[in-house]
Structure 1
Amino acid sequence: MSTKTIEVKGMSCGNCVNSVTEALSSIDGLANVKVDLAFGTASFQEEKPVSEEEVKAAIERIGFTAGNFK
């Protein structure tokens, strides 16, 4: 399993963290989602390949801006 981190812009509270966590956790193939409000990032492990576009779309669908993968 590989671990990836993406920037998430626009989060301001715990509810934002919960929303992003839920959105990414719902993607088949992602596990161990951890969202860090202070750093504005979301990290996850890929159990199977998931496209960067799919991850970004899930973040943007709930009203946040997906930045670059780190």
Structure 2
Amino acid sequence: MTTTTVSISGMTCGHCVDAVTSELQSLDGVQGVEIDLNKDGISTATVTSAGPLTPASIGEAVAEAGYLLVSNDA
């Protein structure tokens, strides 16, 4: 199991959390997604997966949901 934590800009509500969670869960190998919403700043997503995820795949998933990945420990 691998855990990746990323920071995301632009999330302000539960719908935002749902959209990002859905996109991240669609990545191959993702087992779980937990999001700490900070509606006035940078939110944090912790992604648990069977193996390492590429920064590009995470960034694309976040962008597909309509938000901006601002940092990534992948």
TM-score by length of structure 1 reads: 0.89
Identity %: 33
Q: Which runs of 4+ in 1 moved over 2 A?
A: none
Structure 2: how far apart are the matches of 1:24 and 1:62? 9
Whether contact under 8 Å (2:2, 2:52) holds in the other structure is no
Q: CA RMSD in A?
A: 1.3
Q: Which runs of 5+ in 2 are unaligned?
A: none
Whether contact under 8 Å (2:35, 2:45) holds in the other structure is yes
Matches within 5 A, 1:42-61: 42-61=45-64
Q: How many residues align?
A: 70
Matches within 5 A, 1:1-70: 1-38=1-38, 40-70=43-73
Q: Which runs of 5+ in 1 are unaligned?
A: none
Structure 2: how far apart are the matches of 1:34 and 1:8? 13
TM-score by length of structure 2 reads: 0.85
